[in-house]
Every structure is written in structure tokens, then in C-alpha cells.
């Protein structure tokens, strides 16, 4: 799962995101591909890194105003 790009360096200057990073603009679309389906017990039962609940928690489409 690619990490989120922080667009500033340690001096708060703009920086380019690495090829392996995902921007806030498309994080939801990219990370959605890493979501599994869950069993009744809440565990992933298909390939994926995060559960739908965790994906919704980090869904930047809904939370972009906070950045």
C-alpha cells in the first residue's frame, strides 16, 4: 500500500512526491484497491490490506477540508 505524500519538506518548502507515494488528490481511489472484504468476525477474508471500516476512517474525499 503506497504511503501518502506529504507535499512539504522539513523547511516547509514544496517538494515533489516520489513515484511510490500517493497524493491526497487520489489517495481514496488508490487505497480503495487495498480494501478487503470482511467476515462476520471483522477479519479480512479476501486479499487486501485494510478493512472497509479503516478505509472509511481514512477516506480523504470526505475529510479533505481538514488538511
Question: Is 15:7 a contact under the CB 8 Å cutoff?
Answer: yes
Calpha distance 67→59 (Å, rounded) = 13
Tell me which of 28-32, 43-47, 62-66 is least confident: 62-66
Average pLDDT over residues 35-52: 88
Calpha distance 19→45 (Å, rounded) = 30
59 pLDDT above the threshold of 70: no
Alpha helix (H) ranges present in 1-67? Answer: 27-32, 52-57, 60-63
Q: Name the band, by pLDDT with cuts 50, 70 and 90, for residue 67.
A: very low
pLDDT of residue 66: 42
Q: Name the band, by pLDDT with cuts 50, 70 and 90, for residue 65.
A: very low
Considering the entire predicted model, what is its pTM? 0.65
Amino acid at each position: 500500500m503506497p504511503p501518502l505524500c506529504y507535499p512539504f519538506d522539513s523547511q516547509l518548502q514544496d517538494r515533489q512526491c516520489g513515484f511510490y507515494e500517493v497524493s491526497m488528490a487520489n489517495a481514496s481511489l488508490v487505497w480503495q484497491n487495498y480494501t478487503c472484504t470482511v467476515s462476520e468476525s471483522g477479519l479480512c477474508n479476501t486479499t487486501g490490506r485494510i478493512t472497509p471500516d479503516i478505509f472509511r476512517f481514512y477516506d480523504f474525499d470526505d475529510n479533505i477540508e481538514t488538511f
